[in-house]
Structure 1
Amino acid sequence: MCNSTKSRVGVAVGYKDGESWVTEGWWNVAAASCETLLKGPLVARYYYVYALDYDHGGEWGGSAFMCTKEKEFTIKGIDNCLARNYNRTGFFEIDTGEQRSWTVQLTEGGMGGNDQGADASAGRSSTTAP
């Protein structure tokens, strides 16, 4: 995960580990820096990311809803988040194309205000997330 903004960000990641969904967070990524979030080769093709701008507000999110909580977490399953006392949070999807490693770049941009942009890439492959 690379944070190309001038703000500190908190990042949560969701993925399918075998037959079950897992969400994990929070990683704190300093402004203008990169952090390895998941060690070793990727275990899934699709990953889901949600990030918060701690300093200026705003978020990077999407329409794939998964469970989170305010403090550090690892949560099994993505159903019934509220009934299980978790937050229901919208993540954006990253298709790694079954690469073994992948980098997501969080950027400032969009239409102004707190709109944020995210680019995901591995080697030459590249995609833009909502």
Structure 2
Amino acid sequence: MAAIRGPVRRMRPALAAAALSFLALAAATPAKADLRLCNKTDGTISVAIGYKAADGWRSEGWWNIGGSKCGTLLTGALASRYYYLYAVDSQHGGEWGGKAFMCTRRKMFTIGGVENCVARGYERTGFFEVDTAEQRSWTVHLYQPTQKGNGAK
């Protein structure tokens, strides 16, 4: 084993204090809280979300999430207990849906309100409910889709 030659330098007190402050700040930073969706199929799926916002019900879409990948639908701490999702696998067929009807459209969208979707020029789509149990962060895993029901687990 070779000997280390040269002077041994000590960390300056100010630099050491700065390093400790950085480490303390990093440790105090809260964990990231998001609503995430993991696609457990081998195809890309398109996902829409519905939720109660400060100004009423809102639906948004589309997030395209590749096979065996996860994506973030909402960033930050979750403000509600219940969220609603609809997903479709247009490559292989099938959907994840439910009985909570909200408005969607084929292109990217943010739509306020859930009433009179068709009269307002949107599609009326059945979303399935996700109960986050009032957690700050939640991940939904989607497995094989079904044409008529809820494929979420």
TM-score of the pair, normalised by structure 1: 0.84
Larger displacement relative to structure 2 (2-11 or 14-23): 14-23
Partner of 1:9: 45
The structural deviation recorded for 1:34 is 0.3
Match of 1:62 in 2: 98
Sequence identity (%): 57
Q: Which residue of 2 aligns with 1:42?
A: 78
Distance in structure 2 (CA, Å) of the matches to 1:109 and 1:41 = 28
Counterparts of residues 52-91 of structure 1 (less than 5 Å): 52-91=88-127
As a proportion of its length, which structure holds more helix? 2
Which deviations, in whole Å up to 9, do the C-alpha atoms of 1:45-80 show, x marking residues without a partner?
A: 100000000210110000000000000000000000
What 5-or-longer segments of structure 1 have no aligned partner? 120-130
From the superposition, tell whether residues 8 and 79 of structure 1 become closer, same or farther in structure 2 (CA, over 3 Å): same
- Aligned residue in 2 for 1:32: 68
Contact kept? 1:14, 1:23, Cα under 8 Å: yes
3-state secondary structure, aligned to 1:118: coil
Shift in Å at residue 18 of structure 1? 2.3
The residue number in structure 1 matching 2:152 is 118
Gaps of 5+ in 2: 1-36
Higher normalized strand content (fraction of residues): 1
Aligned-CA RMSD value: 1.8
CA distance in 2, matches of 1:15, 1:93: 10
CA distance in 2, matches of 1:114, 1:64: 14
- Number of residues paired by the alignment? 117
Residues 96, 145 of structure 2: 8 Å contact kept:
no
Q: Which has the larger radius of gyration?
A: 2
Determine the C-alpha separation between the residues in 2 that align with 1:21 and 1:117.
Answer: 24
Contact kept, 8 Å, 1:108 with 1:115, in 2: the verdict is: no
Q: Once superposed, which parts of structure 1, at least 4 consecutive aligned residues long, lie more than 4 Å away?
A: 113-116
Partner of 2:140: 104
Deviation by residue 1:97-118 (Cα, 9 ceiling, x = unmatched): 11111101010177xx897721
Contact 1:58 1:116 in 2 (8 A): no
Shift in Å at residue 44 of structure 1?
A: 1.0
